Amino acid sequence: MSRLTLSRRTLLRGLGTALALPTLEAMLPTAAFAQAARPRRFVAFYVPCGIRMNRWTPAATGTNYALSSMLQPLAPIQGDMLVLTGLANRPARPDGPGDHASGTGAFLTAAHPFKTNGANISNGISFDQVLANAWRGQTRFSSLELGIDGGDASGDCDSGYSCAYARNIAWASATQPLAKETNPQAVFDRLFAGVDPNQTAAAVAKRKKYKQSVLDAVKEDTTSLQGRLGATDKRKLDEYLSGVRELEVRVATEQPSACAPGQRPGAWTDIRDKADQMLDLIAFAFQCDLTRSVTYMQQNAGSGYVYRFLDVNGAPISDGHHTLSHHGGDAAKNDALEAIGRWEVAQFAKLAMKLKAIVEPDGSTVLDNSALFFSSEIEDGDSHSHFNMPVLVAGKAGGTLRTGQHLKYADQPSVANLFVTLAQAMGVNQQSFGDSTGTLPGVRV
């Protein structure tokens, strides 16, 4: 029997609304079905201030390992993930103090950020952008840069390191950080506004206004630069704002989505609501195949957020995350750090389970065909070490990753080796990246 074929712009109509269907098998030409049904996708999930490592690292290695207390939220997807112990990010080591900003700058670049709080920033292209460049043109958005906290990209954020390093993990080039979007409503408007091709002129105008709100939100973080820069820095202002300009060009040329989830995010009261909305948007963007490369910053480098909604020994946390991370061995601070870390891992698990619930046309899941990378800018908040980094990978990258195991490396290979391995697993012919020395053994099938 021949397969039924549908237009990819097929709409469900009712109650005065139009909702486009996501990609279905019937929308794909027979010859292209097998390949098109399984696109690869990547997420980089950043959390700040390091991890309480003695409650993070599983005791056993291999496939029969037990999750540590901090990794317990990952139990539903243990078979879909890798715990990697012993990886290092040597280029993240700062020149003098500044581990948070330097580590965040090198988080996805595996390059050494040049220490400056002026206009002469220099880093490297980030791994997500290597993938985005390889996949460019296959989706409406080459990549999405998302996060919880914004902030100006200029000035000194950490012992002489520019805020450009501390507040961005996506870099289009050595001098071009990509500004992240921190308003879920604006992200939704950018992704999904304008579904109905028969909408009224008023609706089109409203959609354009929504798109402009994305730029307004980003520009709020940068317009204060104009009055505070000297002549030299003003000439270099384009380097700071180039990421925003690229976003502006993207928004100006993007067409309405042919797929939408329906409900626009509402207001949020704290980080929990906002994080939930952002994770939903990542899942929806993948489900609708709007992008295949996403970066997500749970917060900025050295975040001082106070997790008052987390109880530790019967009392809410009252100190900021960064303050707690300098624990000095204090038991109470370490208990608070464990609670924060467990909550962060739970957010990562939540995203992975959302993707596991989305079935592809060929019966696999979005998680099956993705690679989700989780880590921080440092190992431990007290040591500020860039060795033995906390690293998780969820998803099977189309069946090319050997998930369900804990791998421990004694020779401290570079995290860049993992990036090269993931690129090849996802069909991108990348032979080197950052300070890589090859691929990472044990990860590939």
pLDDT digits (tens, 9 = 90+) for 109-162: 999 999 999 999 999 999 999 999 999 999 999 999 999 999 989 999 999 999
Triad 33, 397, 282: Cα angle to 5°: 85
- Tokens read off for 420: 């090269």
Report which of 204, 279, 195, 253 is spatially closest to residue 22, judged by C-alpha positions: 195
Alpha carbon 258 to its chain centroid, in Å, reads 24
In DSSP terms, which residues pair with 391 in a beta bridge? 84
Q: Would you state the pLDDT for residue 314?
A: 94
Q: Would you state the pLDDT for residue 372?
A: 99
pLDDT band at 11 (very low <50, low <70, confident <90, very high): very low
Go through 71-80 and write b for each residue having 16 or more CB atoms within 10 A of its CB, e for each that does not. Answer: bebbeebbeb
User: Does residue 374 carry a pLDDT above 90?
Assistant: yes
Report the C-alpha gap between 37 and 35 in whole angstroms: 6
Lowest mean pLDDT of 12-21, 54-63, 201-210, name the range: 12-21
Mean of the pLDDT values across residues 348-357? Answer: 98
Cβ burial, residue 329 (10 Å; 0-12/13-18/19+)? exposed
Q: At what angle do helices 184-192 and 201-219 cross, to 10 degrees?
A: 140
User: Does residue 403 carry a pLDDT above 90?
Assistant: yes
User: Does residue 218 carry a pLDDT above 70?
Assistant: no
Report the C-alpha gap between 134 and 229 in whole angstroms: 36
CB neighbours of residue 241 within 10 Å: 21
Q: Name the phi and psi angles at 363, rounded to 5.
A: 95, -15
pTM greater than 0.95 (yes/no): no
Mean of the pLDDT values across residues 60-70? Answer: 98
Whether the Cβ atoms of residue 414 and residue 110 lie closer than 8 Å to each other: yes
Q: For residue 422, which amino acid is it?
A: L
Report the C-alpha gap between 392 and 385 in whole angstroms: 18
Q: Would you state the pLDDT for residue 210?
A: 53
Cβ burial, residue 320 (10 Å; 0-12/13-18/19+)? middle
Whether the Cβ atoms of residue 304 and residue 322 lie closer than 8 Å to each other: yes
User: Does residue 30 carry a pLDDT above 50?
Assistant: no
Lowest mean pLDDT of 63-72, 226-235, 305-314, 410-419, name the range: 226-235
pLDDT digits (tens, 9 = 90+) for 301-314: 999 999 999 999 99
**Domains in the chain, start-ordered, CATH in brackets?**
1-37 (no CATH), 38-425 (3.40.720)
Q: Is the dihedral of CA 12, 29, 130, 344 positive or negative?
A: positive
Q: Name the phi and psi angles at 336, rounded to 5.
A: -65, -40
Mean of the pLDDT values across residues 99-107? Answer: 98
pLDDT band at 219 (very low <50, low <70, confident <90, very high): low
